[in-house]
Structure 1
């Protein structure tokens, strides 16, 4: 398999963390890709010019990160990251994944506008994204994950890691001590430690 990859992307990190947890990391060849320049190789595989994008062994292009992670969950012999279909545990994991992905979406949107002129409309947009992150963190603090056993927890770990990576000047830990304790514990695990963004 091949994965259009950038170590700075929290969504790519989620896929790689899932692959490690599934014990199939060695089956994935990473291809350095900058989606912002819309390279032909990426456009051939994903017309949206977004990463991550996985090419399966039989040549099928799979995107985006929730879909890729669900596909990876069908491979390998490690415990699944997606609980059984139809279970409350699966629904809870997917909702937590959606919340974490929303935090990442909002944080990436803010990051993409760094250094650009800020008019009233853009300032309002950036404020909305920041508020979304803050509300998402508050929801996670009220009910933090346990361990790194499902796709929701993996997604939360990647979201918090991205906040540390891109918004270190906006520390989230003081207001979210339960979440901070959980994140410190899981950050030492191979799936998180080996996929940490570059410093």
Structure 2
């Protein structure tokens, strides 16, 4: 398999962390890409021109990160990152929370890239509020999150790491001791250490 890859992308990192956790990482060949400069290169496989995009062993493109993670989860025999039955929905719900938080952070990052980050407006304020609210909810749910490794916790760990990477001034740890302690422990996992943003 091949993966269009950029280590600064939290969605690419989510896929890579899951690949490490499921023992599939050695089956993936990374294809580095600067997506903002090489969009046409990726459009031949993904008409959306976005990363990550996985090319499976049959030559078929799989996208976006959520679908890639589900696809990878179908390829291994270990504990599933997306469990079946009633256990699935809390994981999917946490994944949606973390994904929404990361989407908001990426929207703010797009403002920086466009030179609009110094302008306060309704949209950027809403994105900051989304990040705060998502972190507050994760803190409230820490007892159900702690000690688990699944698609939801991977997405949460990667999303918080992205905040540290792009917005260190965010101070998301303030007033959230449970989430802060959980993230400190989760960051020590080999899968997280092997996939630092850059």
- Residue 30, structure 1, aligned to residue 56, structure 2: no
Distance 1:118 1:196, change over 3 A: closer
- In structure 2, how many angstroms separate the alpha carbons of the residues matched to 1:139 and 1:118? 26
CA distance in 1, matches of 2:95, 2:161: 15
The SS at the match of 1:45 is coil
Q: Distance in 1 between the 2:132 and 2:73 partners?
A: 30
Q: TM-score, normalised by structure 1?
A: 0.93
Q: Structure 1 residues 161 and 148, CA, compared in 2 at 3 Å: closer, same or farther?
A: farther
- The equivalent of 2:127 in structure 1 is 129
Does the aligned pair in 2 maintain the 1:16–1:195 contact within 8 Å?
yes
Structure 1 stretches of 4+ with a deviation exceeding 2 A read 37-41, 117-120
Rounded to whole Å, the distance in 1 between the matches of 2:88 and 2:184 is 25
Q: Following superposition of structure 1 onto structure 2, how do residues 97-112 of structure 1 map, counting pairs within 5 Å?
A: 97-112=95-110
Distance in 1, matches of 2:33 and 2:148, equals: 28
How far apart, in 1, do the equivalents of 2:118 and 2:76 lie? 50
Residue matched to 2:161: 161
Q: Which structure 1 segments of 5+ residues have no match?
A: none
CA RMSD, aligned part only?
1.6
Report deviation, 1:148. 4.3
Q: Distance in 1 between matches of 2:160 and 2:148?
A: 13
How many residue pairs get aligned? The number is 195
The 5 Å alignment of 1:32-181 reads: 32-84=32-84, 87-114=85-112, 116-117=115-116, 123-144=121-142, 145-181=145-181
Give the distance between the partners of 1:44 and 1:54, measured in 2 at CA: 12
1:77 CA displacement: 2.8
- 1:95-138 superposed Cα distances (whole Å, 9 cap, x missing partner): 11011011110001101111624697x62111010001101001
- Report the equivalent of 1:2: 2
2-side partners of 1:117 and 1:161: how far apart?
A: 23
TM-score normalised to structure 2 length: 0.93
